[in-house]
Amino acid sequence: MARAIEEARVLVTRDIGLGNLALRSLEQGVSLGVVLIRLPAEVASKDAAATVEAALLLADLPSDGLGVFAVISLNKVRVRIVVRRTPTD
């Protein structure tokens, strides 16, 4: 997750705990995107990259994916655009 934040990339994970941690970071304004894959192992392992790419296209996400929390499950893709808070002093 630290590398994804450092490089302003989208984090793709099957780990629910990591997904929740990343969502909290997003809510605190960290530049990150998160895709949580909730597919059975036999489905996800066949062609994980194609599965994620197709889901992101279907979800019509922002081009860089930053600020987005998406959950890919067998029957649907749920997307939450997280409004980043402006830091206040």
Q: Is residue 10 helix, strand or coil?
A: strand
Tens-level pLDDT at each residue, the chain (89 residues): 888 888 888 888 889 999 999 989 888 888 788 888 887 776 656 666 666 666 666 556 666 778 888 888 878 888 888 865 444 54
Domain ranges of the chain: 2-75
* 73 φ/ψ angles, rounded to the nearest 5 degrees: -120, 180
Distances (CA, A) of 50 to 3, 5, 28, 81: 23, 23, 30, 22
- Selection from 72, 82, 3, 89 nearest residue 35 by Cα: 72
* pTM listed for this prediction: 0.72
